[in-house]
Structure 1
Amino acid sequence: MRVLLQPAFILHRRPYRDTSLLLEAFSHEHGRLGLVARGAASARSRLKSVLQPFVPLLLSWSGTSDLATLTVAEATERPVPLPPSQVLAGLYVNELLVRLLPRQDSLPGLFAAYRALLAELAAVADAEPPLRRFEKCLLEELGYGLSLDREAVSGMPIVAEQRYCYVLDRGPLVADSGVPGVPISGRGLLALRDGMLVDPAVLREVKHLTRAALAEQLRGRVLKTRELYRVKREPWPK
């Protein structure tokens, strides 16, 4: 199979043999795919500077296996660089996509959300609201969307002033139901539903919920970028 000039982003790259690169890419029509870029790591290759994370690209490749061969890579536009404070947020999202997306599964809606996320990370000071909105979108695209409108047992609309306990395989339950889950306010559920994540207290609640839902899909796999976040927060020893 030969695919010509698909919009795509590089999620991850690593050296392969002497002068090549192994790539994880996220394309508009073909989803996540593995590519080998032959000769791209050589000193004379122009591709080494092109095949970078967060750069909008057009890629062509050939092959039908899990590892196709890159044939063309072109930058489609001048990328808006992420500020240094937001690079780790971008790498976190890239690692999530590599870990959770199946191969060769077209997800154009998620691709658009990823492109929009990068634009937001380049423009805002606080990465947390756009990250939570993207995590919600990712769960939806994977088929594990969160129920944010109604209480799971009664079917009653979520009440902003009510406390809930979110059970991942059921949905939100009134907090005094005695069932263990992720504690969250009705205000937090509605804020995540609407993407209006302004209040810091609500944002913390929402983060606990989306992280718990993603952990369920990661099935015990540890994200390296989460470890980097943890190290970044710890004070340097005196």
Structure 2
Amino acid sequence: MPARRISDEPAYVLHRYDWSESSLILELFTRRHGRVAAVAKGAKRPTSNFRPVLLPLQPLRVAYGVAGENAEIHALKGAEWVGGHVMPAGEALLAGTYLNELLLRLLARDDPHIPLFDAYAGVVRVLAGGGTRGDALESVLRAFELLLLREVGLLPSLDAQTLTQGGLATLGRYVLVPEGGLREAASGERSLAGPQWQALQAALDGSGEAGFSAVLRACAPFVADLKPQLRTLLHYHCGASMLRTRQFMMDIQGLLP
């Protein structure tokens, strides 16, 4: 079967690996084709046009050749920086790296998620703006985590109890747990009230960047209670008790006076 070419594809670099002395293997998040792997031959050479472009958290337009339906690694033919913002720095850079790790762990290759790509592009622009810190940054991360879990089919409906499909009581408290989904909270558990979960579900019913904004507004008032529940769920589905990015952040904090 002759090779086909994907051109002018919006993309971000999620990760890059050394492939040889001069080349790189890239994990790309593309808008219309999902997560793909591509080899950038000669990208490490000082004269390569790829060298200043293939950076994480930067909007790109890429072209690559697909050798066949079963090909796992494609050949990168072109990449150009779209522009629009600079590289996030400091806390925002770590946050973006964390989101990239989640995408690498939870997205299957060649499985498009256009609304998720659009939300990710919006988040990267927010992070690059440099004004999102503290609670505001936590809200951005939680909103994206919710959208990611929903997109890959790992988030149950948040407007009913998962096992019984019973409604949520206005005065009831509920917790989101791996395998069990949304259930009544025991005394002392970090949880959300029924109307709060219902508000999140209503926001998630949107799509793209508009959907992300709605989820962001919905989770901001109770992000502290939402964070440990989402962290437990993500670690469970990622198959890791601690994500590498989070461990790195903790190591840095341990070095500070």
User: Which of 167, 170, 180 lines up with 1:156 in the alignment?
Assistant: 167
| Offset from partner CA, 1:40-86 (integer Å, 9 cap, x none) | 10011121110111111111111331111100111122334313221
Does residue 96 (structure 1) correspond to residue 93 (structure 2)? The answer is no
TM-score by length of 2: 0.81
Match of 1:229 in 2: 249
SS in 2 for 1:98: helix
Q: Percent identity?
A: 32
Does residue 117 (structure 1) correspond to residue 99 (structure 2)? The answer is no
Match of 1:184 in 2: 191
Q: 1:30 to 1:44 in 2, by over 3 A?
A: same
**How many residues are paired up?**
231
User: Which of 168, 171, 184 lines up with 1:174 in the alignment?
Assistant: 184
| Offset from partner CA, 1:153-182 (integer Å, 9 cap, x none) | 3622352x4322334334322235x9xxx6
Unmatched 5+ stretches in structure 2: 204-214
Task: Give the aligned CA root-mean-square deviation in angstroms.
Answer: 2.3
Q: Is the 8 A contact 1:26 1:33 kept in 2?
A: yes
User: Which of 234, 238, 242 lines up with 1:218 in the alignment?
Assistant: 238
Q: Is the 8 A contact 1:32 1:105 kept in 2?
A: yes
Does residue 135 (structure 1) correspond to residue 141 (structure 2)? The answer is no
Q: 1:116 to 1:22 in 2, by over 3 A?
A: same
User: Which of 223, 233, 244 lines up with 1:203 in the alignment?
Assistant: 223
The residue identity in structure 1 corresponding to 2:52 is S
Does residue 11 (structure 1) correspond to residue 18 (structure 2)? The answer is no
| Offset from partner CA, 1:79-130 (integer Å, 9 cap, x none) | 3431322100000111111111111111111111110111222332232111
Distance in 1 of aligned mates of 2:230 and 2:156: 9
| Offset from partner CA, 1:170-225 (integer Å, 9 cap, x none) | 4322235x9xxx641216535644432334xx212211111122122112374210
SS in 2 for 1:234: helix
The residue identity in structure 1 corresponding to 2:49 is R
Q: Larger deviation: 189-198 or 101-110?
A: 189-198
Match of 2:39 in 1: 36
Distance in 1 of aligned mates of 2:42 and 2:79: 13
Does residue 53 (structure 1) correspond to residue 56 (structure 2)? The answer is yes
Deviation at 1:149, TM superposition (A): 1.5
Match of 2:212 in 1: none
Q: 1:158 to 1:121 in 2, by over 3 A?
A: farther
